[in-house]
Amino acid sequence: MRTVNRSAVVVVPKQPLLDWLRSIDPTNSEMKLADVRKDATVYLLPEAASEMSLVEVLETYCDRIFEEELNTWHLATVDWPADRSRANFQQWFTCSFHSMVVDASDGPLITEDL
């Protein structure tokens, strides 16, 4: 195993994301909060020494992560909420920070641009 020079943040949707999904597509009316919370996305961020540093780093990437989360659920950017501020991000998502990332795989690490 080897450590990776990154920190991680797990981004889990909250009720406002579900409300938005229901508002843009009536077929989402049966969707539950547990459905949107399944398989939360993990984002790798620059390495940070403390949770306080991670919060500061997240502020730099917050808008990109917000947009990626919206894009995961709905591609039409015209329907995205206009307010994608840090404050709104905190209302829409819960984040858990992890300062140590360990690669337990023996296989090569393959990256892909989104």
* Per-residue pLDDT, 99: 83
Backbone angles phi, psi at 42, to 5 degrees: -110, 125
Alpha-carbon distance values, 46 to 10, 31, 33, 60 (Å): 14, 34, 30, 10
* Inside any domain, residue 111: no
Mean pLDDT of 32-45: 96
Q: What is the pLDDT of residues 88-114, one digit of tens each?
A: 999 999 999 888 899 999 999 888 887
pTM above the 0.85 mark?
yes
Between 45-49, 79-83, 87-91, the lowest mean confidence (pLDDT) is in 45-49
Q: Which domain holds residue 37?
A: 2-101
* Per-residue pLDDT, 22: 96
* ∠ CA 40-45-50, rounded to 5°: 105
* Inside any domain, residue 109: no
* Inside any domain, residue 60: yes
Q: pLDDT at residue 51 above 80?
A: no
| One-letter identity of residue 20 | W
* Inside any domain, residue 72: yes
Mean pLDDT of 53-82: 93
How many structural domains are present in the chain?
A: 1
Residues 6+ apart with CB under 8 A from 81: 20, 70, 88
